[in-house]
Amino acid sequence: MGTKFLSTPNRSWRWRLLATVVAAAAVAVPSPAIAGNNSGVNAGLRDFDAVTTVNENNVWKHMALIQDRYVIYNDRGIIEGPRRIQDKWPFLPALFHQDLDGASVDFLGPGFRWIYTFTKGPFVITFQDSGIVAGPILQVQDYDGISSYNPGQGIPVSYFAVRGSQFVTFTNLAGPAVNTPLSSIPGVTEQFTHDLDDVSVELERGSLKYSFYRDNQRLIVQNGRVLELADLAQKWPFLVNFRQP
């Protein structure tokens, strides 16, 4: 009786320990998309060459570009594309038909006409759907990413550009060299203080809202607070086909 009494709770204790270990292992294993990003594979998907956000009358829209194609979308799904850059804007010089470094969108007038800014190497160009506004212009240096936003009615468009671990703000193209550490922006985590794929800055409720893109992730900060750290394969699953190699 004594031996049987001791073995029963011992077996129960072992089963409880095994269940605890299995549960802990399940929690520790990330989802396939997160695991892909952590391993450097980025879930097998291509990173964006350029990506930008525009606040169109408090409606948020995004544009992403990979190689020679673009897509316009919001968080619910695709609005336009994917299409070839050359087919959408045939008047652009061949330099800007593919493999862009940075892209941004601001708007003009009450009809919210989009004004695009594309960068590649040391060159930048601005244009509307109807034709070129300015450029190509030779910049002081090439940027890893660029963003433009409308500070308010009657105020010139502001640009925010990044290269390496620094950024610069300006109002006239061609822009100056970067001169301020990204780490000086309140709320930005170390991972997003260098080697970004692109950046997007918008004015929302009177303060700047920053979106930083690197590999398969996006960080959004505003007023020193992290608003979002998202895995892009999970955030925008409808872009998976667009991002396939």
**Residue 156, token pair as written in the block:** 């010139």
37 and 23 in one domain? no
Q: Which domain range does residue 111 map to?
A: 32-243
Of the listed ranges 36-40, 105-109, 139-143, 184-188, the least confidently predicted one is 36-40
pLDDT tens by residue, 8-55: 344 443 444 334 333 333 333 333 333 334 434 455 788 889 998 887
36 and 17 in one domain? no
15 and 134 in one domain? no
pTM of the entire structure? 0.77
pLDDT tens by residue, 117-175: 999 999 999 999 999 999 899 988 889 999 988 777 777 888 999 999 999 999 988 88
Length of the chain measured in residues: 245
Q: What burial class does residue 111 get, using C-beta atoms within 10 Å of its C-beta: 0-12 exposed, 13-18 middle, 19+ buried?
A: exposed
121 and 218 in one domain? yes
127 and 114 in one domain? yes
Q: CA-CA distance, 243 to 97, in Å (whole number)?
A: 18
24 and 78 in one domain? no
CATH number, residue 190:
2.110.10.10
Give the chain's domain count. Answer: 2
195 and 165 in one domain? yes
223 and 148 in one domain? yes
Q: CA-CA distance, 200 to 178, in Å (whole number)?
A: 16
189 and 95 in one domain? yes
Residue 88 DSSP code: H
46 and 25 in one domain? no
213 and 237 in one domain? yes
| Exposure of 214 in the CB half-sphere (CA atoms within 13 A) | 19
**Residue 55, token pair as written in the block:** 């606040």
